[in-house]
């Protein structure tokens, strides 16, 4: 690979620090950049749980010093607030369940950040994501799963376009996570043992329902039984719930058969939360909108797999595309899939693209999910 001018997104964690080190070892002209995503870092995350704190910025700077590369902080807090945080609130208000990590990659890291980097004369953006890139026979760039499938992050990169992939580097995709930590320690990087970030980076304590209630205010709605239509209780806002949820419903009246109830659907206008038995969560057909293709959109129905959650299993599926509409027929039914989630399409290990789930259905009534 020829020498390139590379910006590395340095979150302050071990993965991005080692990604930067490997970019240096590859002979690139490397600059580290930490993204300031909140004007008041304390309002998003604290400690080692996220990537939006002053502590994280300092950890990134120290790693850059060890590597001997220039380091800058870019303030993208306004874009992050508008494109990720406000989008997150709006999706919950609409009764959908968004994935802010995909939105951040789509709108912030590989749009706002990459655009700025290219405008400044850089050739590529490197991150610590666990995924791999391959050159296809036609010269295009393919996105594939990481070698370490347990750490694979190709799902949250399924929003990237071919042009963005041409300017991306993922130096960790061929390495298991324990080896990355050992390498960091050998290089003298103090973040070698820093815990991984998790949950949603801008929700201060991991309590999404409480965060939404604080930002959106208390609402008023009812729990309704799926089979009988009977009102079972009230709640303070439908945005605090998601399809598939079991805990925290606080319905005093038990189900007639004594089995747990789950959230089956959410109607945001009336704030009606419909609940019922677990088997009613099973779906085998998805309708998707807003597709994002890593290359060309499939011209014929694709027999591949889809992943419906960041750490979820793959489901064998037939994917058909007509314009901006994507239909996914699940050969392996799934449970608890909510509108707003992302369906990422795979052909083997290759990421074909993604779409936002608009609706779900159970076509084969006898189908079951694991």
Catalytic residues: 104, 201
* CA nearest to 235, candidates 199, 273, 266, 180: 273
Distance, CA of 37 to CA of 105 (rounded, Å): 13
């Amino acid at each position: 690979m020829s020498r390139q001018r590379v910006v590395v997104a340095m979150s302050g964690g071990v993965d991005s620090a080692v990604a930067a080190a490997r970019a240096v070892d590859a002979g690139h002209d490397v600059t580290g950049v930490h993204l300031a995503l909140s004007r008041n870092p304390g309002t998003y995350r604290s400690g080692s749980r996220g990537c939006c704190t002053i502590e994280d910025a300092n950890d990134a700077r120290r790693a850059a010093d060890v590597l001997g590369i220039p380091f800058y902080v870019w303030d993208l807090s306004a874009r992050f607030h508008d494109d990720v945080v406000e989008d997150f609130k709006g999706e919950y208000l609409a009764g959908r369940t968004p994935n802010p990590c995909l939105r951040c990659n789509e709108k912030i890291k590989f749009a706002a950040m990459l655009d700025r980097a290219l405008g400044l004369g850089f050739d590529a953006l490197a991150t610590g994501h666990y995924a791999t890139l391959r050159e296809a026979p036609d010269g295009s760039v393919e996105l594939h799963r990481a070698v370490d499938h347990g750490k694979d992050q190709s799902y949250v990169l399924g929003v990237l376009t071919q042009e963005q992939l041409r300017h991306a580097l993922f130096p960790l995709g061929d390495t298991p996570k324990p080896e990355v930590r050992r390498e960091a320690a050998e290089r003298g990087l103090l973040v070698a043992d820093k815990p991984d970030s998790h949950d949603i980076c801008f929700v201060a304590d991991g309590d999404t329902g409480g965060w939404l209630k604080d930002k959106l205010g208390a609402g008023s709605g009812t729990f309704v039984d799926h089979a009988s239509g009977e009102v079972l209780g009230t709640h303070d806002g439908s945005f605090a719930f998601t399809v598939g949820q079991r805990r925290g419903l606080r319905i005093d009246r038990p189900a007639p058969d004594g089995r747990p109830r789950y959230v089956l659907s959410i109607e945001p206008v009336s704030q009606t939360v419909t609940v019922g038995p677990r088997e009613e969560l099973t779906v085998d057909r998805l309708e998707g909108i807003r597709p994002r293709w890593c290359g060309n959109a499939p011209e014929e129905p694709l027999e591949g797999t889809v992943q419906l959650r960041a750490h979820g299993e793959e489901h064998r599926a037939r994917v058909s595309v007509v314009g901006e509409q994507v239909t996914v027929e699940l050969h392996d039914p799934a449970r608890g899939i909510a509108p707003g989630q992302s369906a990422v399409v795979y052909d083997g290990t290759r990421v074909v693209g993604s779409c936002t789930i608009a609706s779900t259905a159970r076509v084969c009534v006898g189908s079951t999910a694991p």
